[in-house]
A and B are shown apart, each in its own frame.
Chain A
Amino acid sequence: MKKIHLSALDLRRSLSRRLSLWIVLFAAAIFLAALVYVFVISRNAVRQEAIRGASRELDNTVLRVNGILEDVQIAADNLEWLIYKDLDNPDRMMEYSRNVVLNNPFLNGCSISFEPNYFPSKGRYFSAYSNRMDGVVYTQQEGNDQYQYFYLDWYLLPKLLGQPCWTEPYTDQEEGDDTMDSRMTVSYCKPLIGNDGSFVGALTLDISLEWLSQTISAVKPYPNSYSILVGRGGTFLVHPDPDKLFYQTVFTQQLVQQDQEMWQLGQDMLSWKEGMHFINLDGEPCFVFFEPMMTTGWSVAIVCSQEDIFGNFRRFQNVVIALVLGGLLLMFLVFSRLIGKMLEPLRRLATQTQVIASGKFDSKLPEVTRMDEIGLLTHSFGDMQNSLVTYVEELTATTAKKERIEGELQIARHIQMSMVPGTFPPFPSRTDIDLYASMSPAKEVGGDLYDYFIQAGKLHFCIGDVSGKGIPASLFMAVACNLFRLLSKQGLPPAEIARQINDNMSEGNDQLMFVTMFIGCLDLATGCLEFCNCGHNPPVLLDSAPHYMDCIPNTPIGVCAGWQYQGQVLENLRGITLLLYTDGLNEAENPVHEEFGNDRVLQELAARPFPDARTLVESLLAAVAAHVQDAAPSDDLTLLCLTLKS
């Protein structure tokens, strides 16, 4: 089995792992939701069961304790009527006191005590007291100057409250006695009311707190739980911690440190409420279940640590979580492996595709017999591979063909450019002639033309623009160019030259192509310019200010055979610069299709003086280039600038 590395890169590269991870995450989410639900329900059930269990225990404990306490109360009730019967006979009180202790083994003592001087014969004090010590019952009159019972709780409480009551536990402690809890006594006291309705004394029955402590301490629903008994003043009457037993109350810590939870628990317990609090006791979270003992006003509580109640549940929870996590991991491994196996053909296809992509178009795709999506994909890749091979072959042929044509076009371009004069200055021996020309075809070859030469003291020149662009226009231009040179050399005037070129080119012009031309003949001696404009843009004259030349437009050459062209004469061109151009200048478009414009041509020319024809032409070309920016040239651009110096 391959080792699985779960790095982020692996996950990005491996569809099977990613898919498995998604499945596992989805399953984990479902498991998590289910587990949370189950755990919450179970925890509540455990909690409820704990509450029920603790409540049962508390009920039973309170019932048991109350049973004994009620026995004490019944014994007091039974004795009370005898006392009233002999209220004038103090000696009988000694007898009653003794008998009630003898007859009720749960009693530790009994005192029938009277107000000071109630029995004049007995003096100030009379308290018939019997107590059990080591199984023997002793009876005596216990009041004296050192033991003034009138001031003790068990006497004062029934006197002041006017009703039976239970005292808080107390001890008649002797010096050197260090077993406080074993001597703790609690008394049930009843007021004795005389015939005149006044308080005459108190009947008190004592029981030891020891058995009560044992009964309550025995309540232990969980291994680490413990029970406590709290008196009316919050004192711990039963507590496993000897430092707290009798010495502290529920509120002792509150004297120095506020603890709202503890305070509330104490208040609820002292308010005779029944319930449960969840609080931190000495840093450990605990449940405290409590119930009042209505007989005495005390409160019994069972303290159970959270760990005790939920310990088993938590262990079960951990096992379940571990199982689920293990299951999810196993699921991930199995799914990862399974999906990986299913996607293996796809992986092989991907590898093979990479080979094909590297240029090996004839590389063989893996064999598949599957009919599913992967099989379909492989077949589609096969078809695509075949189409690709065919396409590439065709593309190779086409590319070769195109390269050949491009080569020919380059040659044609050279030929075309060699057809127009390209050496400047053209007439180095003539300092009176300043002439410069430029031709920039929009494509490899263009339809613009220009030409000039000197013959018999005259400068013959022309500029032209064939309709359309590319090879057809270049061929048409070549014919026009040759005809101009041929006819000009015969010394014909420009209008005649135009007429003859027109007649020649109109013949058999099935493509209905045409060329606009400006044909000129400058007498270098007189400066007189004869010219004929054949539908071409009027040239610009730069004398005092640049302006377009007034020309008879005529018709372009090749349009109408037999057209009679009218020539014109400019008497003296000397000192005046003549600029001829094709519409590639004024109609040059920028990226947003704005034309350079006729006015702009004049503005550029008027902007500054130009020292020579070349500077002028190059300046205009630069202005056009700035206007056009990165837009493709829309037309061929040709400029010819001529100055016959004075």
Chain B
Amino acid sequence: MLFKMRHCLILLALWALSLPLFAQEGEPIVFTPQWTAQAQFAGYYVAKEKGFYTEEGVRVLIVHPNATQSSMERIRSNKSHATTLQLAQALQMIDEGIPMVNLLQTSMNNALVIVSRRGKNPLKMPGAKVAIWQAGFTQLAECIMNETGLDYHWVKAASSVNLFIAGAVDASVAMSYNEYYRILQAGIPLEEEGVYRFSEHGYNVQEDGLYVTREYYRKHKDQVEAFARASRRGWEYAAEHPEEALSIVMDYVRRNNIATNPILQRLMLDEILRLQLDPDSGQREFRLREDMVRQASELMLRGGQINHPVTIEDLHP
């Protein structure tokens, strides 16, 4: 009897140990960030390269979007299982009937800015031609600027920066961690007067978060939660070791042949890490804030971006 019990215990232990292996050998999570390789996704790269995903027993494939297939396309076509979304994008998708689950909220602040040429205050340019991304991320900007009554003539472009540099537009929407620095890098000095930061004018709505469809979440609950835990660990590691994180980011940049440089990526990483600090606690909290979700929902409802209010519960698992 004792012999049998010992055998049972050994078998149980072997089964328990082999669980992560089995999980790894299963279907990998295909994760597609919403943009090409850059420091905006440093935490995920770090988690992958430092083996945090493996330690959590999940296999993650990072596949970036390209010109013909955006991250959303890949999610819709089930080619990818997880993606990063801005909060406003997530609300829009839920409103469209695609339930999304927020696994990890990385951004605690809004990075949207509007920069104008020649230092002119963007709020004093009604009817101005303003470049905005064709690829998305513009919901909040459009809602907010419509509310101000400035009635901008939005110019959707693949690259808002090039239009801005060429002088084809009066202003451009930019991310404080990306286009903002690329404009500076083009030798165009940006005076404070000409930079409108949404976060400083009562529109500090969270942005990037890690999402999967609710259906995928239901089917792979343990796996995606492990994926979220490891991703959070990746971000925390990146915050503590920015130089190492930058090095990992640059590896991804080179592999994906992205036209950028370490200086831009370092500035982007610093800004992304800054945006992850909760404006009240100053801590990296990795959570959705109900007030911000509510504000985003109300803004988008008024702006006609969504037809039904979306609450934080709709985003939670």
Contacts and interface: CB of A to CB of B under 8 A. Distances in A.
Are both chains from one complex? yes
A251 interface: yes
Contacts of A246: 259
A244 B260 CA distance: 9
A478 interface: no
Interface string A239-262: 000011011111111111000000
Nearest to A152: B158
Contacts of A599: none
Contacts of A357: none
A168 interface: yes
B186 A251 contact: yes
A148 B129 contact: no
Contact of B185 (A232, A244, A251): A251
Nearest to B186: A233
Contacts of A173: 67, 257
Contacts of B277: none
Contacts of A174: 66
Nearest to A161: B168
Nearest to B63: A175
B72 to A, nearest CB: 12
A100 interface: no
B269 interface: no
Nearest to A249: B185
Nearest to A166: B166
Nearest to B167: A161
A250 B69 CA distance: 33
Q: Which of B129, B167, B257 has the most CB of A within 10 A?
A: B257
Contacts of B260: 247
B270 to A, nearest CB: 11
A401 B131 CA distance: 127
Interface string A195-231: 0000000000000000000000000000000000000
Contacts of A520: none
B123 interface: no
A304 interface: no
Contacts of A46: none
Contacts of A151: 134, 156-158
Contacts of A147: 67-68
Contacts of A160: 129, 155, 163, 168-169
A250 B157 CA distance: 25
Contacts of B125: none
Contacts of B264: 252, 255
A255 B187 contact: no
B184 interface: yes
A626 to B, nearest CB: 95
A180 interface: yes
How many residues of B sit at the interface, in one of the four size bands? Answer: 20 to 34
B311 interface: no
A165 B166 contact: yes
Interface in B260-314: 260-261, 263-264, 266-267
A237 to B, nearest CB: 11
Contacts of B146: none
B163 A156 contact: yes
A157 interface: yes
Contacts of B67: 146-147, 172-173
A178 interface: yes
B181 interface: yes
A413 to B, nearest CB: 111
B165 interface: yes
A165 B162 CA distance: 13
A193 interface: no
A177 interface: yes
A161 B267 CA distance: 32
Contacts of A248: 185, 261, 263
Contacts of B78: none
A252 B181 CA distance: 9
A178 B253 CA distance: 12
Nearest to A171: B259
Interface in B143-178: 155-159, 161-163, 165-169
A247 B168 contact: no
Contacts of A148: 134
B159 A146 contact: no
Contact of A234 (B129, B185, B256, B266): B185
Interface in B189-213: none
Interface in A29-63: none
Contacts of A354: none
Contact of A146 (B69, B169, B259): B69
A157 B166 CA distance: 8
Contact of B261 (A156, A177, A252): A252
B263 A253 contact: yes
B185 A156 contact: no
Contacts of B166: 153, 157, 161, 165, 168, 232
Interface of A: 146-148, 150-153, 156-157, 160-161, 165, 167-168, 172-175, 177-178, 180, 232-235, 243-244, 246-256, 263, 266-267, 270
Task: Give 5 nearest A-B pairs by CB, closest first.
Answer: A233-B186, A151-B134, A160-B168, A146-B68, A233-B165
Interface of B: 66-69, 129, 134, 155-159, 161-163, 165-169, 181, 184-187, 256-257, 259-261, 263-264, 266-267
16 contacts: A146-B69, A153-B158, A156-B155, A160-B163, A161-B167, A168-B165, A172-B67, A180-B257, A233-B162, A233-B185, A235-B186, A248-B261, A249-B185, A249-B186, A255-B267, A267-B187
Given A161-B168, A248-B261, A249-B185, 10 more contacts: A151-B156, A153-B166, A156-B163, A157-B168, A160-B168, A177-B257, A233-B185, A251-B187, A252-B263, A266-B187
